[in-house]
A and B are shown apart, each in its own frame.
Chain A
Amino acid sequence: MNQVAVIDYGMGNLHSVAKAIEHVGAELASESGQATKVIITSDPARIAAADRVVFPGVGAIRDCMAEINRLDVGAMVASAMKTKPVLAICVGMQALMAHSEENGGVDCLGLLSGRVKFFGEVLRDENDARLKVPHMGWNRVAHTSDHPLWRGVPDNSRFYFVHSYYVTMDETDQVAGRSVYGREIVAAISAGNIFATQFHPEKSQNAGLTLLRNFLTWNGASD
């Protein structure tokens, strides 16, 4: 049994990511016999016992960090990332950074050395056309590393994004994928047992489902 714990800290829609993982888990089970069980929990013991951990997040970072700190989710993620695969999604990825500009400035978990910045009120593309903020919709992601989670995902596939703040990394060798929206942004991160995405794989149809499926068979940094 492959047990996946989705960390529930009371922010937003965990149903979608749980359902998407169950969906690809059922496909894997019919091919390999390996069953997947998804649990949605904030119980540190259950997260510690799981084989894989998903750290999701939607909404404003201040509210997310308040709940993350209240439930000590940072300790759960920090502990999980030492021993097993962790997938952080959207605000979950941003929460791993040191600091976010959102909500007047919010300290984040600092588990990775990067920062979260605002796209700005005025954003333009290379042809000087105005770009709306939030960055909402399907954008291309260029692979910048050859990671097991990209297996079967064509380079420059489109994934679904929705965010107004973007991540910049100090350690560029941790960047696994990049996108362009007015500027270059970090779309995916690979750091040891952590894989993080700014986009929503659970909302990205085939490309996203392939990535989630790869996560279920990825054994972490040593893979």
Chain B
Amino acid sequence: MALAKRIIPCLDCDRGRVVKGVQFVDIRDAGDPVEVSRRYGEAGADEITFLDITASHEDRATTVDTVRAIAGQVFIPLTVGGGIRTLEDIRTMLNAGADKVSINTAAVQNPEFVRESAERFGSQCIVVAVDAKRVSAEDEPLRWEIFTHGGRKPTGLEVIEWVRRMVSYGAGEILLTSMDRDGTKIGFDLELNRAVSEAVNVPIIASGGVGNLDHLADGVLLGAADAVLAASIFHFGEYTIREAKAHMASRGIEVRLD
């Protein structure tokens, strides 16, 4: 009897449409984030993460409408990330029905923003997203640095120290993406995940690199993740959420099956 480890499908959306494609067998509109989210909710997903990659500010009004529509039909927690830069952005998303917001670049540019956000809205809804890249040489102790702009821009910030600081400012959860592993399908950076999970007392969501169900289980068992996030293995119908949970359960992990 324990808290279940969570499985979180992630939807990347551009101007209100799911990008990278979702290929469920029997879905009417695989580009509709509302329908995709609803299906994931019914399929047993523990949360949904909605990542807005809309480039232009003008098109972001669409995102708010989409979040509102998802929240009206999906009765599991919803995290919204991408372009969250001001307290007003957070208020808008929470009012639209998001349960949490994920802050990434804005935290790097202005760490105090995380503190202000947590004070205003509570730590429970402030997720800090961390894009980490291994920067240590082969013969050095492991070291990771924060990168922005999709892993292209180094910041000089050391990951463990940064995450501790974000938690001390009030971050309630860390969404940890390995930029080395993202898109590779060879599994999470387990050493990174374990190091971060042991460094702080808030839940860690492992992200980046999932290619099969053992990767999800490894994230929990070896990476000490509290939740695992994946996109393509679910979107392309390689595995269902239930298959993923059954596999994790078979490896001794508590999951929500009811």
Residues of chain A at the chain B interface (Cβ within 8 Å): 12-13, 15-16, 19-20, 22-23, 58-60, 121, 125, 130-140, 154, 156-158, 160, 162-164, 180-181, 200, 202-209
Contacts and interface: CB of A to CB of B under 8 A. Distances in A.
Contacts of A205: 41, 75-76
A209 B227 CA distance: 23
A158 B4 contact: yes
B71 interface: yes
A203 B202 contact: no
Contacts of A200: 77
A12 B122 contact: yes
A134 B124 contact: yes
24 contacts: A12-B122, A13-B95, A13-B98, A15-B95, A16-B97, A19-B97, A23-B73, A23-B75, A59-B122, A130-B201, A134-B123, A134-B202, A134-B203, A135-B3, A136-B172, A137-B5, A137-B46, A138-B3, A160-B76, A162-B124, A164-B123, A203-B77, A203-B99, A204-B75
B203 A58 contact: no
Interface in B67-116: 68, 71-73, 75-77, 94-99
B212 to A, nearest CB: 23
Contacts of B2: 125, 139, 180
B6 to A, nearest CB: 5
A126 B173 CA distance: 24
Given A136-B172, A137-B6, A140-B1, A12 B121 contact: yes
Given A13-B125, A23-B75, A137-B227, 20 more contacts: A15-B96, A15-B97, A16-B75, A16-B99, A23-B72, A23-B73, A58-B124, A131-B3, A132-B201, A133-B201, A135-B3, A136-B172, A136-B173, A138-B6, A139-B3, A154-B258, A180-B1, A181-B3, A203-B76, A204-B76
